[in-house]
């Protein structure tokens, strides 16, 4: 939109409005409060893209159902278009044949975007230690949260979602996240 350029003088064409405001005004009280409000809104409005491939899909359906109610956490409306989603939930076994499709879906998502690895097969290949199965999707795309289990319990998925919400609240625009992977390894972003 052309009218946004007049809101922040000196805005570069490749940066968003929040980054331009931070660069123009520094880390003042008003911009830090504005960034906190934006992050609060983001953490309670996930639009998930469920990439379901295997038996963990039943557990995903249980979590999305009324008993565990993902709506309480702001993640109830799944989007089946990557351009409308910001949370990619990879659920189930990923084979090397599916890996390019998963990467394409991830690349089509708008920024900011996060990935949740749902289950043992997605996180580490699970019991399938062979040539056909990807041994962890973190070799293809960056993962924000790992949910362990085969299949993971709905409580574990909700705990992973709460950890993702905390990460989103702590992230800052233009600053690499200083947290850790779900495995405990430092992030190398």
Bond into 112 cis (ω within 30): yes
Place of tokens 């043992």: 120
Q: Rounded to an integer, what distance in angstroms lies between the CA atom of residue 98 and that of residue 102?
A: 6
Within 8 A by CB and 6+ apart from 66, the residues are none
Which domains are delineated in the chain? 47-165 (3.40.50.12280)
Cα 79 versus chain centre, distance: 13
pLDDT tens per residue across all 189 residues of the chain: 444 444 445 555 555 555 665 666 655 555 567 777 877 877 777 888 889 888 888 888 888 888 888 888 777 778 788 888 888 999 989 999 999 999 999 999 988 888 999 889 898 888 888 889 999 899 899 999 999 888 888 889 889 988 988 888 887 666 656 655 554 555 554
How far separated are the first and last CA of the chain, in Å rounded? 30
Q: Rounded to an integer, what distance in angstroms lies between the CA atom of residue 40 and that of residue 189?
A: 23
φ/ψ of 67, rounded to 5, equals -70, -40
């Amino acid at each position: 939109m052309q009218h946004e350029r007049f809101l922040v003088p000196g805005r570069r064409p490749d940066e968003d409005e929040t980054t331009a405001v931070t660069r123009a005004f520094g880390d003042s009280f008003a911009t830090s409060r504005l960034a906190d409000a934006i992050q609060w809104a983001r953490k309670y409005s996930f639009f998930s893209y469920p990439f379901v491939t295997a038996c963990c899909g039943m557990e995903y359906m249980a979590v999305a159902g009324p008993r565990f109610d993902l709506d309480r956490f702001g993640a109830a409306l799944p989007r089946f278009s990557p351009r409308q989603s910001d949370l990619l939930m990879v659920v189930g076994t990923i084979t090397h044949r599916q890996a390019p499709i998963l990467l394409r879906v991830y690349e089509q998502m708008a920024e900011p975007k996060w990935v949740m690895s749902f289950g043992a097969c997605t996180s580490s290949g699970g019991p399938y230690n062979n040539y056909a199965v990807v041994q962890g999707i973190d070799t293809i795309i960056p993962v924000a949260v790992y949910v362990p289990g085969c299949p993971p319990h709905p409580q574990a998925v909700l705990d992973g979602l709460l950890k993702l919400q905390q990460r989103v609240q702590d992230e800052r625009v233009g600053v690499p996240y200083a947290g850790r992977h779900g495995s405990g390894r430092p992030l190398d972003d």
